[in-house]
Structure 1
Amino acid sequence: MKYNFGAGPGKLAKEVLEEASKAITNFNNTGLSILEISHRSQYFMDVVDEAESLVRDLLEVPETHDIIFLQGGASTQFAMVPMNLLPPDGFAAYLDTGVWANKAIQEAKRFGEVVVVGSSINANYNFLPRDFKVSSNVAYFHYTSNNTIYGTAFSFTPEVTVPLVCDMSSDIFSRRIDVSKYNLIYAGAQKNAGPAGLTIVIIKKGILGHVKRVIPFIFDYRLHIENKSMYNTPAVYAIYVAMLNFRWLTRKGGVAAIELENNAKAALLYREIDDNPLFVGTARTEDRSRMNVTFTMVTAGLEQEFLNFSRDRYIIGIEGHRSTGGFRVSLYNAVTLQDVEVLVSAMREFSTQKEHEIRYSAMHGG
């Protein structure tokens, strides 16, 4: 058994993987593989309908909002959002809190004027700007709720008077949110919702069709809504696995229940980081993410040694992003408290080992 703390695609529950694997050879006792059934068949239409219903129930999505399943990941949404919501002569406000937020900003600039109302880039994105102001004349305000690379996250919903748009790729379904406050939410599925290849978009009715530009059909949200996510061939298997994952989350007690588990996992790991003399957190304490915990070692030369130490104990996926180094431990929904306890135990064991080595060296004049 391996303890997978990878940043994405993230860990999925064993029972979800087992059910998904059965469907590859025999989907719902049809004698067909889920990989070869028609996306227009009633078999798959039932999957999409259930997936949508489960999303609506888990997130308490009001009837004022539509739910669609798309492809292309969050990066495609960086373009689709301004394409559909930002007038060519209009303005959009963005918050720059990490690599993915910055990529969204650069993409939006291709479609209209972008006002960056706050940024933490000069502090290596280790905190979230809080004193930003959003003008009432912008088309929308966009922010990223959780920043996977730098380990920061919003614990609150920004209060603005303009349409609110959020990239929730790495923390959707991990905590309760008030969907009614948002005009558009998008999320790549590969953290907490399902496998890579699927993007979930939640859109408030009435916000589309007001931008005077030619939008390619495949990038027009309205057509995907009208066709119930079937405008083009959808990511059939990814939607199916996500549906299984939504069932699993529902059985666990829904988002409220998993939020309690996620809080406990994060609290345990952060407590060890703060108490262990070998490790130090990188994100400002009040802005720490519960999904992506980032930290380094006080002695940088020990980082590779600890990675090797961890791998020997079947702990994988804790390397920091290539742009930051250090460590990044992702605590997505399927990661258990027991998994985190194994990691914390390894951190303590490594720290004790290093302490003994230092004492031995001092005693023997090393």
Structure 2
Amino acid sequence: MASDHARVINFGAGPSALPVTVLEEATKGLLNFQQTGIGIAEVSHRSKEFQAFLASVEASIRAQLDVPPTHRILFTQGGGSGQFSAVVYNMLARYRLLHPERSAADTVVDYVVTGSWSKKAAEEARRLGGAQVNIVVDSKQFSESGKVFDRIPPHDAYKFSEDPALVYYCENETVDGVEFSHEDSAPASFPFHLLQKGNALAPLVADYSSSFMCRPIPHLADHAVIYAGAQKNIGPAGLTILIVREDCIVDVDAAARLGAAPVPITMSYKTLADAGSLYNTPSVLPIYVAGLVLERMQRHGGMKHYEETNRHKAEKVYAVVKKGEQQGKLRRKVQEGSGSWMNVVFEVVGSDAEKKFLEGAEKRGMKGLKGHRSVGGIRVSLYNAVTEAEVDRLVDYIDNFINE
């Protein structure tokens, strides 16, 4: 097995870095999972050993995020993109059961668009039909050019529908580097207060794919659905984690008899919940690795530790980028106050300067820094497994680069 010092520093946006100690432990499980004599990639998902492990993964998420008993934790596949469709199907089924007299023309779904992923989610809702899509706010309209996602819009710009079947937002936009603030008083926070209407349960849906388990989730109990692909902070690709409020786990077949669209059986939250996430074969190996990561996180102090560490990492990178801006060498792509903790994006100013920057980083053992193909530039992903020492090495390199 390669030792730690043989590995490069992975700043990739996903699949992303995992702790070396977890990878080493996982290799043992590949050969022999919990003394069963069978490797984790071979073991039956119906075995008592794996089912006990799955229960421990659920318990760890519930404890670390303080998930209330009103919400179920489910495990599925298909990533965040799969949930673009699943949330529409399930939430429209719920709405039809609540309002059997309403047609698709009378039904609205609300989408807050702050970046590439929320834009794709809204497009999928429009493609599936079954409801009118209301764009609550499009943050591009608040950029200077009107063409880029570079900030969280002000609270007074949000135009929520009166009675939507769902309200969707993406907490952290991986491509564009835009993230909602976790401080309610901040202008860049999500306007939860605008959703409070009597005692009704808000149908609030959040995509947490690239920020799940990096810090506590504000107003978690007020959400109907939170979903996340695991391949950013806690595991390899192939596992999607859902936190679903009980009232959103509905009989989709009963809703279909009332006119809602039939829901593919593995997309039904009720199917997942009734079968304990074991209706069909789950992503056994990704669940195992995620479980090892979660165990390690608990040993290191849980959300409090990771929130503090991730704040420090982001602050260090933003500070050196600001220094580069002042020297005319770098250009930040997101307005201050709306920047992501997980994905810091910027441009390197000058002809061939970006190429030179990436080549220099590569020579120093730092990879995955090229921005998403749709927007270019540099993207530094600071997921949980990226250590402060590794961030310090990057910051030193950036500092040297802008001083050359």
The answer to whether the superposition gives a TM-score over 0.5 is yes
Q: How many pairs does the alignment contain?
A: 353
Q: Would the aligned equivalents of 2:108 and 2:161 in 1 still touch at CA under 8 Å? A: no
Greater mean alpha carbon deviation, residues 214-223 or residues 319-328:
214-223
Give the 5 Å matches for 1:1-366: 1-86=7-92, 87=96, 89=104, 90-109=107-126, 110-111=128-129, 112-121=131-140, 122-130=146-154, 131-155=157-181, 156-159=189-192, 160-161=195-196, 162-177=202-217, 178-209=219-250, 211-212=255-256, 213=260, 214-276=262-324, 277=327, 278-353=329-404
Which runs of structure 1 show a deviation greater than 6 angstroms over 4 or more consecutive aligned residues?
none
Deviation at 1:179, TM superposition (A): 1.5
CA distance in 2, matches of 1:300, 1:173: 39
Residue 363 of structure 1 corresponds to: none
Deviation string 1:279-305 (CA, Å, 9 cap, x unpaired) is 121001110000000000122421101
Q: 1:46 to 1:208 in 2, by over 3 A?
A: closer
CA distance in 2, matches of 1:149, 1:243: 27
CA distance in 1, matches of 2:289, 2:152: 33
Give the RMSD, CA atoms, in angstroms: 1.3
Q: Unaligned stretches of 5+ in structure 2? A: 1-6, 97-102, 141-145, 182-188, 197-201
Deviation at 1:209, TM superposition (A): 2.5
Letter of the 2:205 partner, please give it: V
Q: Would the aligned equivalents of 2:90 and 2:248 in 1 still touch at CA under 8 Å? A: no
Secondary structure at 1:28's aligned position in 2? coil
CA distance in 2, matches of 1:98, 1:303: 23
CA distance in 1, matches of 2:68, 2:230: 21
Deviation string 1:150-179 (CA, Å, 9 cap, x unpaired) is 111001343113321100000010111132
Letter of the 1:233 partner, please give it: T
Deviation at 1:216, TM superposition (A): 2.2
Secondary structure at 1:69's aligned position in 2? strand
Letter of the 1:74 partner, please give it: G
Secondary structure at 2:396's aligned position in 1? helix
Identical aligned pairs, as a percentage? 39
Deviation at 1:62, TM superposition (A): 0.3
